[in-house]
A and B are shown apart, each in its own frame.
Chain A
């Protein structure tokens, strides 16, 4: 693929075997700011007490939770459709975070 972020982040290195990614069945979350077909991929952030699942990251631009149908890992690319941001998943502060990629 031409876009390196398009590729799924490697699940196993040369010498180490990473466990396979967990898959998720996404349900509607009540989020209504994108077309219906995309709504289950986003949810509102509940604030400091809101723990994100392994398939979720918080968009730093608009503070909406971006969801994927698979477990996210550093290097993955996700899109925040509510604010048009392309994000890359990184590990920081002991958890997954997202950074915009322009």
Chain B
């Protein structure tokens, strides 16, 4: 690929090879993860927290762990049947990101005094999110690329991107920093999903009715999960509306909104 000062001058194939590469990922995350420990500045100290606030944060983080585990299992499972090598390499970076997210959220739970995060997650997991995870992994196991990308990189990643963003605005400083790094990773995952599916739909528009059906099936689970999580983070009705508009804008751009 020719070296260029202006990325906008790259040919499309070169652009895709570049952004899907492990090297691009490595240099990108270096920008915001260098010198962090567990996803945040190690000198940050815990601020006093009301018990109710701590409890809500634990419940929220438990659900984040469910979402991240779903994405970790799904993205790793999709590598074997990804349509090309460049996408396989991108997915390998997503797997690393999801593993990191899970680890930093589990670490944050321990910092908040949770002795056994696994049993806490079992108790506090939102049933709608568990159901969503089950459905996503069914798509992955059946090697259904379009359904898996749609469920994971469009629906789940949009949900996470918006919820984490809304939560970061009201969170304590440590959680805020952890979330900030995670959001930067989610931007890649979400963008990959929209662009991969967009290209696929442009070539095979007959996929659209099927994706619309999947959307209808999963929408209820997603909305329930959202409402529950945003309530726990203290997010406003405005934040909920913001998510809905982000998500709806994405599916509208892909033409799978109705």
Contact = CB atoms under 8 A, between A and B. Distances in A.
Chain A: interface size category: 20 to 34
Contacts of B24: 34-35, 81
Interface in A39-70: 39, 41, 60-62, 64, 66, 68-69
B252 to A, nearest CB: 11
Contacts of B184: 33, 82
B160 interface: no
A84 to B, nearest CB: 4
B50 interface: no
B195 A102 contact: yes
B111 to A, nearest CB: 25
A33 to B, nearest CB: 5
Contact of A82 (B10, B27, B187): B187
A77 B8 contact: yes
Interface in A1-47: 3, 6, 32-36, 38-39, 41
Contact of A36 (B9, B31, B190): B31
A81 B19 contact: yes
B249 interface: yes
Interface stretch (B119-127, B136-144, B196-204): B196-204
Contact of A84 (B6, B19, B27, B249): B19
Interface string B26-37: 011001100000
Which are the 6 A-B pairs with shortest beta-carbon distances?
Answer: A83-B191, A102-B198, A32-B31, A35-B27, A84-B191, A78-B8
Interface of A: 3, 6, 32-36, 38-39, 41, 60-62, 64, 66, 68-69, 76-86, 100, 102
